[in-house]
Amino acid sequence: MDSMSLTTLDRGKTTVDAAALDALSAQLRGSVLREGDAAYDVARSIWNAMIDRRPGLIVRCAGAADVIAAVNFARENRLLVAVRGGGHNIAGSAVCDGGLMIDLSPMRSVRVDPATRRAWVEPGATLADVDAETQAFELAVPTGINSTTGISGLTLGGGFGWITRKFGLTIDNLLCADVVTADGKLLRASQTENPDLFWALRGGGGNFGVVTAFEFRLHQVGPQVLSGLVVHPFADAENVLREYRAALEAAPNELTCWVVMRQAPPLPFLPAEWHGKEVLVLAMCYCGNLQEGEKATQRLRAIGTPIADVVGPNPFTGWEQAFDPLLTPGARNYWKSHDFTELSDSAIKVVTAAIPGLPGPECEIFFAHVGGAAGRVTADATAFPQRSAHFVMNVHARWREPEMDRACIDWARGVYEATRPYAAGTAYVNFMPEDEVDRVEAAYGGNYRRLLEIKQRYDPLNLFRMNQNLRPVKTQRAA
């Protein structure tokens, strides 16, 4: 392997000689890729097509030993580092220009012990990988919305989805993690081993190291859940949202109902005359007894005069993948997000006023109702602080043509600014795009200072900075 110029932590350049590159390659069970190699472009491609970066080196890891070798190589050469799990993060932090990309995607094993209801998951696994193994035993860990999402990024940022109200966030079900820290050591993080690191990993993102294995608590779920969509004309949106808000006050934790406002895709159960027209969709899932679910969803399904109601028994794995066709890789994406402690009349008016101005057929505004079990954890119990029962709004701009960039980004930013007066001021880090570095402190609230102290302890060089970054104190002073 020839010597090469690579990007450093301070965005300068350094030359790494051929002997050092050969020594790295010799340590690995996996492989090293550089530009021109057959698998290079596939490895650097991620979900958000707006991100088109070219790492100098990609280390495709086969196990924890490969991760240790890659981290040591990056630290010794002070290289800019990105860590890829599923490559689904909106900010594109999985890939860097000119530096070293640590690719965990080959590490996808999931092992389940049904007797103890535990799962051991490697960091390259997707949510679909996890569901496939756990649902073989009618078990589940609360994960996210899109089954192609990687388990690593989702977990490290918090993780909420269809069964969070019943069983908590993904991090609330994390029992321990194996982590390669910036000094190249493999540590176990749990409530009893390196508990400060364990606290920080649960919501603090990829700031503290590279997780090479997760152990999760599992819960009895499925194999079927009562789930589906109720689609309303957008003309009724304000009334539907007010009644939706009222219905949720008495909703059991087994029931989750989210809202999507967008132009109707050509779904087979929708009359053709509604395709491409603005609609409001109630998407719901009841993860308990199906008959009890029919009763629990009755009030929500009785709202207004829907165009279609396709709520019924579905395999849990199928429902976890229901939105995948609308979130395939290859599109350009930009998100703006707020947390809300309540969905006020004023917020409803602002949000509904934004839908007639949708800049494209794939753009939407999404509201997730959280709370339940996730809200029974204190704000300082984990790095993730947003524990009050609340809604998460994601303004999702999605389009295909680069010439639409300005219109779509401006629309998302406009909705974000218009709804800011009614928002809680916090943010879900997994929904933050790369231009929101100014929101990191607010996202962590009262946990921010403790996170900086832990960052200083485990990564004083700020080697792991391609994320919603928590800069160690000495790095901040130097800057």
* Cα 400 from Cα 385, distance rounded (Å): 35
429/423 Cα distance (integer angstroms):
15
Q: Distance between CA atoms of 56 and 2, rounded to whole angstroms?
A: 12
Contact indicator for 125, 151 with CB cutoff of 8 Å? yes
Closest CA to 180 of 473, 414, 458: 458
pLDDT of residue 344: 95
CATH 3.30.43.10 fits domain 4-103 = yes
Rounded to whole angstroms, how far apart are CA atoms 462 and 74? 12
pLDDT attached to residue 388: 86
Which residues touch 281 (CB under 8 Å, ≥6 apart)? 229, 230, 231, 232, 259, 260, 261, 262
317 CB-near residues (< 8 Å, 6+ apart): 128, 131, 132, 135, 222, 223
Assess contact for 203 and 171: CB atoms under 8 A: yes
pLDDT confidence of residue 452: 97
Residues 6+ apart with CB under 8 A from 388: 341, 371, 375, 379, 424
CATH architecture of 110-220: 2-Layer Sandwich (3.30)
Indicate where the chain has its CATH 3.30.43.10 domain(s): 4-103
What is the model's pTM? Answer: 0.95
The Cβ of residue 11 has, within 10 Å, a number of other Cβ atoms equal to 11
The span from the CA of 290 to the CA of 312, in Å, is 9
Distance from the first to the final alpha carbon of the chain = 35
pLDDT tens column, 282-337: 999 999 999 999 999 999 999 999 999 999 999 999 999 999 999 999 999 999 99
Q: Six-digit token pair at 255?
A: 């029931």
Beta strands 312-315 and 278-286: pairing type?
A: unpaired
Q: Where in the chain is the domain with CATH 3.30.465.10?
A: 110-220
Looking at domain 224-436, its CATH architecture is: 3-Layer(aba) Sandwich (3.40)
Q: What is the pLDDT of residue 475?
A: 52
Q: Crossing angle for the helix pair 345-354 and 237-248, nearest 10 degrees? A: 140
Angle, in degrees to the nearest 10, between helices 18-27 and 64-76? 160
Closest C-alpha to 198, from 184, 178, 169:
178
pLDDT given at position 333:
97
Mind listing the pLDDT tens digit of every residue in the chain (479 residues)?
Answer: 789 999 999 999 999 999 999 999 999 999 999 999 999 999 999 999 999 999 999 999 999 999 999 999 999 999 999 999 999 999 999 999 999 999 999 999 999 999 999 999 999 999 999 999 999 999 999 999 999 999 999 999 999 999 999 999 999 999 999 999 999 999 999 999 999 999 999 999 999 999 999 999 999 999 999 999 999 999 999 999 999 999 999 999 999 999 999 999 999 999 999 999 999 999 999 999 999 999 999 999 999 999 999 999 999 999 999 999 999 999 999 999 999 999 999 999 999 999 999 999 999 999 999 999 999 999 999 999 999 878 999 999 999 999 999 999 999 999 999 999 999 999 899 999 999 989 999 999 999 999 999 999 999 999 999 999 999 976 555 44
Cα–Cα distance for residue pair 457/479, rounded to 1 Å: 18
- Residue 479 has a pLDDT of 47
User: The tokens 């009562």 sit on which residue?
Assistant: 226
Q: Hey, what amino acid is at 348?
A: I
Single out the residue of 468, 149, 130 nearest to residue 329, CA to CA.
149
